[in-house]
């Protein structure tokens, strides 16, 4: 079987979709699939994955109307059985409205290619009070609906995206993202608990305002004031003002910056709690979810997650995290409650471990991809 994955971003271009495409291509190749990756003509892009026969083609100079001919020409050379396009609106358009992809899909359908679209994101949410972003939200939905109509199969990571594309539900499979920092030799044994004489809490990934790193730091301050030895660690690049906040609060905080995958994974495994909030200010947004590679990375490292239930939270996660509102008092209270009930944390870690093994490992994700793609052959 020959599969072509299309993604504008690929390592060493930093990003969630870049990492996702890397791990997916590698794990499909492990299964004997002939894998090609069509990506950007960029000096940063790696030319090979050591130990894997993934054909990386960093050839596309323009991702827009002017690039359609070049993209189609390269696809015809490869002549894949399936095309899998990794989609987020802002990856293919500066303004997040890649109308040009509709024309690319039309062109590919005319040439009888089978297309599967993986929607990592679909659209920003509709806000009737924000005229500018309201127009973008509607336009992004129009693009997504056209692309969905022209796709033979659709993959989404969460239930909410399936509901947004409900007109095409018969084509859709929910396959969550995998960890973007999982090592080649993954530790599939559950770790023991409380190896340290101090507590480590932290987070990983994007440090935008919606993640509320400031709230994390204030929760650490409260824990310290209650006599708990605690350290905060953030893996990933952060604005300098977060470091100033930590200094002002006089807490032990370490901002690791960007780390290579295995190093990031090992640091994450040292965490006692992982804090994850996302766009909590709108009651219809945010929440722990399986479209975030950062949250899934915490699952892969078997770290209990403190998060809120939100618009993006699948029901399957109901008993797999510690529910908290995004304020420092609530976070610190939940942590103290957990410390006073170590047996509950042990049970939670066991649930996380089993859930990850069965649902979020790249081996399982790539298996589900192949089963789903093979269904295309049964279509008329």
User: Where does the pLDDT of residue 193 fall: very low under 50, low under 70, confident under 90, or very high at 90 and above?
Assistant: low
End-to-end CA gap in the chain: 19
The number of CA neighbours under 13 Å toward the Cβ of 224 is 17
Q: How far apart are CA 223 and CA 228, in angstroms?
A: 6
Q: How far apart are CA 313 and CA 76, in angstroms?
A: 39
> What does the pLDDT read at residue 183?
82
Domain 199-359 sits in CATH at: 3.40.50.2000
Average of per-residue pLDDT across 230-244: 91
> What does the pLDDT read at residue 239?
84
Q: Other C-beta atoms within 10 Å of 161: how many?
A: 21
Classify domain 2-178+361-378 at the CATH topology level. Rossmann fold (3.40.50)
Structure tokens at 294: 């950062």
Helix 342-359 / helix 293-300 crossing angle, nearest 10 deg = 110
- Three-state secondary structure string covering the chain: CEEEEECCCCCCCCCHHHHHHHHHHHHHHHCCCEEEEEEECCCCCCCCECCECCEEEEEECCCCHHHHHHHHHHHHHHCCCEEEEEECHHHCCCCCCCCHHHHHHHHHHHCCCCEEEEECCCCCCCCCCCHHHHHHHHHHHHHHHHHHHHCCEEEECCHHHHHHCHHHHHHEEECCCCCCCCCCCCCCCCCCCCCCCCEEEEEECCCCHHHCHHHHHHHHHHHHHCCCCEEEEEEECCCHHHHHHHHHHCCCEEEEECCCHHHHHHHHHCCCEEEECCCCCCCCCCCCCCCCHHHHHHHHCCCCEEECCCCCCCHHHCCCCEECCCCHHHHHHHHHHHHCCHHHHHHHHHHHHHHHHHHCCHHHHHHHHHHHHHHHHHCC
% of the chain at pLDDT higher than 70: 93
> What does the pLDDT read at residue 324?
93
Q: Is the predicted pLDDT of residue 337 greater than 80, yes or no?
A: yes
Give the C-alpha distances (Å, rounded to integers) separating 280 from 211, 212, 307. 8, 9, 10
Q: Is the predicted pLDDT of residue 376 greater than 90, yes or no?
A: no
- Mark 78-107 as b/e (b = at least 16 C-beta within 10 Å): eebbbbbbbbbbebbbeebbbebbbebbee
pLDDT digits (tens, 9 = 90+) for 104-114: 999 999 999 99
| Residues 44 and 14 sit within 8 Å (Cβ to Cβ) | no
User: What is the chain's mean pLDDT, rounded?
Assistant: 91
pLDDT digits (tens, 9 = 90+) for 58-113: 999 999 999 999 999 999 999 999 999 999 999 999 999 999 999 999 999 999 99
| Residues 207 and 236 sit within 8 Å (Cβ to Cβ) | yes
pLDDT digits (tens, 9 = 90+) for 111-144: 999 999 999 999 988 776 677 788 899 999 999 9
Sole residue written with tokens 């492990």: 30
* 373 class by beta-carbon count within 10 Å (0-12 exposed, 13-18 middle, 19+ buried): buried
Q: How far apart are CA 163 and CA 203, in angstroms?
A: 29
Distance of CA 182 to the CA centre of its chain: 13
Domains 2-178+361-378 and 199-359 share a fold: yes
Helix 100-110 / helix 68-78 crossing angle, nearest 10 deg = 30
> What does the pLDDT read at residue 132?
74
Give the C-alpha distances (Å, rounded to integers) separating 290 from 65, 175, 245. 32, 9, 30
Distance of CA 141 to the CA centre of its chain: 20
Q: How far apart are CA 59 and CA 82, in angstroms?
A: 19
pTM above 0.85, yes or no: yes
pLDDT digits (tens, 9 = 90+) for 44-58: 999 999 999 999 999
Q: Is the predicted pLDDT of residue 366 greater than 80, yes or no?
A: yes
In the chain, how long is the greatest CA-to-CA distance? 68
**Domain extents in the chain:** 2-178+361-378, 199-359
Residues facing 117 on adjacent strands = 85, 154
User: Where does the pLDDT of residue 36 fall: very low under 50, low under 70, confident under 90, or very high at 90 and above?
Assistant: very high
């Amino acid at each position: 079987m020959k599969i072509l994955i299309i993604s504008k971003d690929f390592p060493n271009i930093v990003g969630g979709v870049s990492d996702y495409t890397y791990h997916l291509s590698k794990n499909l190749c492990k299964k004997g699939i002939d894998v090609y990756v069509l990506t950007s003509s960029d000096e940063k892009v790696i030319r090979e994955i050591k130990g894997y026969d993934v054909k990386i083609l960093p050839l596309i100079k323009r991702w827009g109307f002017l690039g359609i001919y070049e993209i189609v020409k390269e696809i015809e050379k490869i002549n894949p059985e399936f095309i899998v396009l990794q989609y987020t609106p802002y990856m293919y358009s500066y303004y997040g409205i890649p109308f040009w992809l509709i024309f690319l899909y039309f062109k590919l359908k005319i040439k009888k290619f089978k297309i599967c679209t993986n929607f990592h994101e679909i659209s920003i949410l509709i806000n009737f009070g924000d005229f500018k972003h309201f127009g973008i939200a509607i336009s992004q939905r129009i693009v997504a609906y056209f692309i969905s109509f022209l796709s033979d199969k659709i993959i989404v990571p969460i239930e909410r995206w399936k509901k947004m594309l409900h007109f095409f539900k018969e084509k859709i499979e929910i396959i969550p993202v995998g960890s973007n920092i999982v090592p080649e030799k993954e530790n599939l044994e559950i770790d023991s608990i409380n190896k340290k004489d101090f507590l480590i809490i932290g987070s990983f990934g994007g440090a935008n305002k919606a993640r509320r790193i400031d709230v994390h730091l204030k929760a650490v301050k409260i824990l310290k004031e209650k006599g708990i030895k605690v350290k905060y660690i953030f893996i990933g690049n952060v604005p300098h003002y977060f470091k100033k906040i930590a200094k002002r609060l006089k807490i032990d905080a370490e901002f690791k910056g960007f780390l290579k995958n295995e190093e990031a994974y090992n640091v994450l495994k040292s965490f006692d709690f992982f804090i994850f909030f996302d766009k909590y200010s709108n009651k219809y947004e945010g929440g722990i979810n399986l479209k975030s590679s950062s949250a899934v990375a915490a699952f892969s490292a078997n770290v209990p997650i403190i998060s809120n239930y939100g618009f993006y939270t699948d029901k399957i996660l109901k008993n797999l995290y510690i529910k908290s509102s995004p304020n420092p008092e609530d976070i610190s209270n939940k942590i103290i409650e957990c410390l006073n009930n170590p047996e509950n944390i042990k049970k939670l870690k066991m649930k996380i471990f089993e859930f990850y093994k069965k649902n979020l490992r790249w081996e399982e994700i790539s298996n589900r991809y192949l089963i789903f793609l093979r269904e295309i052959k049964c279509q008329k």
